[in-house]
Amino acid sequence: MPLTDPLHPIAAVTHAAPYDYYRRLADGPPLRFDAVLGCWLATGAAGVRAVLEHPACRVRPPGQAVPPNLAGTPCGAFFAELVRMNDGERHAVPKQVLARALGQVDLARLQGRVAHLAGDRVPGSAGQLNAALFELPLYAMADLLGFAPAQWPALVAWTRDFVACLSPLSNGAQLAGAQVAADALLQGFSVLLREGTAIPGSLLDDVVSGARQAGWHASGAVLANLAGLLSQTCEATAGLLGNAIVALRAQPQLVPQRGAAPQPWPAMLREVSRHDPAIHNTRRYTAQDADLNGVLIPQGQLIVVVLASACHDASVYAEPGRFLLQRPGLALPGFGHGRHVCPGQSIAQAIAAACLQAWAGALAGMPLAWRYLPSLNARIPVFSPGEMT
């Protein structure tokens, strides 16, 4: 029986096959009001670019630096400092410091290190695979930052608890756990810095040195954004890696292509990031009236920016419905655009490539089925034992 379309872009995130729907969104008006969701939609490459480039379109509603359920809490203080979650002059220098430090990461060394870590942790079941999707990327980032291996499991647990509070779907218990986790993450980085144990040349050392040189002296903000590197790695890289595994399993024709290429994983992961990105949508709020592609959107409006529809825009990508390894190296909307483009794109792809390389043999013989983790914007598979395809 053919699948029905998702009801709207939020439902599309966890739909089994939303790709035709996204292509139809991309064919329609770039900006439109959705009566079901009660907000504006930005779709296709033109709509997504128009919103993400416009200075009046902010990542937070005017006058609301943190979500109301986090106001006055440790999570709220943490959230308010994250450069990926905020706009404004106060966050401009921190954003530059973080982007510069991430851009200096030795990707070949990182990939080799992660391949070793992943080789020691090859999943043998669907349950182990689900855990590894989150653990390995966070272990890799903790290693980059300079934490000792004995500290990694606790960092993973705290990060996952903290990330839970960022979703409107989180419940009271998750919010309470996130407060404890936020304190623990900040304390962990504080101790590492206070004891002077940041490894010279580590990512943590590069961020702290860059902050000092740039005159970014707000120690609380530095700590929050260091911890933010873990939270931003968590779901996005798990989604990239998980969706790559789905692509390999759902499209057997990829296997001979993969075997024929000397270095297949980067091209394959780029196409996964295009065809089925980890982040399918994001949000913007108009701080003032904004003319977007000839559509006047009043101040104070919510715009759901459907990144995945831009990934399936036929005016940009030839045959967008096909999974093709040989595509021009165009920008990938799933990693954002403009002021908030993800500076860790290359790091995420290097981590995922190393894991795929280490796990390829085990995954080939593992019976798997999948659904998707409940989310309003992140597409992360949850695997279970299933039939071999």
Confidence (pLDDT) at 72: 86
Would 233 be classed as within a structural domain? yes
Q: What are the structure tokens assigned to 79, written together?
A: 């959230």
226: containing domain:
9-384
Does 303 reside within a domain? Answer: yes
In this prediction, residue 128 carries a pLDDT of 97
Number of folded domains in the chain? 1
Is-contact 14 372, C-beta < 8 A? Answer: yes
Rounded to whole angstroms, the Cα distance separating 237 from 249 reads: 18
- The 8-class DSSP code of residue 199 comes to P
d(CA 193, CA 199): 10
* Residue 1 located in a structural domain: no
Instruction: Concatenate the DSSP letters of all residues of 270-333 into one string.
Output: HHHHHHS-SB--EEEEESS-EEETTEEE-TT-EEEE-HHHHHT-TTTSSSTTS--S-------G
pLDDT in tens, 126-175: 999 999 999 999 999 999 998 889 999 999 999 999 888 888 888 888 88
Q: Residue 386 CB: number of other CB atoms within 10 A?
A: 13
pLDDT of amino acid 255:
60
Q: Please give the distance of CA 84 from its chain centroid, rounded to a whole number.
A: 11
Q: Which amino acid is at 228?
A: G
Position 389 in a domain = no
- The Cα 192–Cα 148 span in angstroms is 10
Give me the residues of the chain with pLDDT under 70, please.
Answer: 1-2, 195-199, 218, 252-263, 329, 334-341, 387-389
Other CB atoms within a 10 A radius of the CB of residue 40 amount to 22
Q: Which residues on adjacent β-strands are paired with residue 291?
A: 296
pLDDT of amino acid 263:
62
Domain-embedded: residue 4: no
Domain for residue 3, yes or no?
A: no
Indicate yes or no: pTM above 0.85.
yes
H helices within 64-168, ranges in order?
Answer: 74-81, 92-103, 107-119, 126-145, 152-164
For 241-269, b/e burial (b = at least 16 CB within 10 A) is bbbbbbbbbeeeebeebbeeeeebbbbbb
Q: What is the CATH number of the domain that holds 274?
A: 1.10.630.10
- Please report where in the chains the tokens 């304190």 appear, as a residue: 183
In three-state secondary structure terms, 32 is: strand
Residue 214 in domain: yes
Residue 30 lies in a domain: yes
- pLDDT at position 389 is 45
Classify each residue of 221-235 as buried b or exposed e, where b means 16 or more C-beta atoms within 10 Å of its C-beta. Answer: bbbbbbbbbbbbbbb
The backbone torsions φ and ψ at residue 52, rounded to the nearest 5 degrees and listed phi first, read: -70, -20
CB burial of residue 36 (10 Å; 0-12, 13-18, 19+): exposed
